[in-house]
Chains A and B, each alone.
Chain A
Amino acid sequence: MRTAKDQLLDELASSLRGPRRARRRLLAEIDEDFEDALRAERAAGLSARSAEAEVLARFGCPDDMAERWNGDQAERRGAIRRNAVLVVLAAVIAGALGVTQYATGTNSPVPRSKCIQTGENSARARAETDACRASAGFAD
């Protein structure tokens, strides 16, 4: 025989949206907590029928719970989609920049760092640097 708890869980199962694993976990939690609540009401002196009615009343409207749950799930899905769009956009821009650099940089200049004599400030060092830069096509 189906109990009020079974009916509640069936109603929730048909209303909740989102990942199956999350929904199953939620329904299992509610199942166990409902039993706890029933036990507490029976311990307080209520009959089985009254305890069930009391717990159902305190649970509230299943539609309200489903609305909150489904709203949160929709927000989470939206955030995941927005992040995915940003990642794709970043990849496209990086790819476009790479293609542009390749198309315009066939005679890439000698990196400047190769011509810099670090730590030396002598006239000879400066002359060597200038010669290196001149051979690489740099104009000062």
Chain B
Amino acid sequence: MSVRLRNRLKIYRAELGVNQQELARLAGVSRQTISLIERGDYAPSVALALRLARICGVRVEDVFSLEDDEQ
């Protein structure tokens, strides 16, 4: 079963003023993973999504949402 996720990670990262490498370091993942998530090519695990939301200082639902919810 595929899951379509929308994310605003790039927007929040820009607000935070960090590049992908720095965000990856803070989240404990690789820069490629951040790039894949921002492009919508990879849906992160719950743990990673929560970590990213915490780093951005917002709720996880503000960063990630299901496509159906958006529609």
A in complex with B: no
Interface residues of A (CB under 8 A from B): none
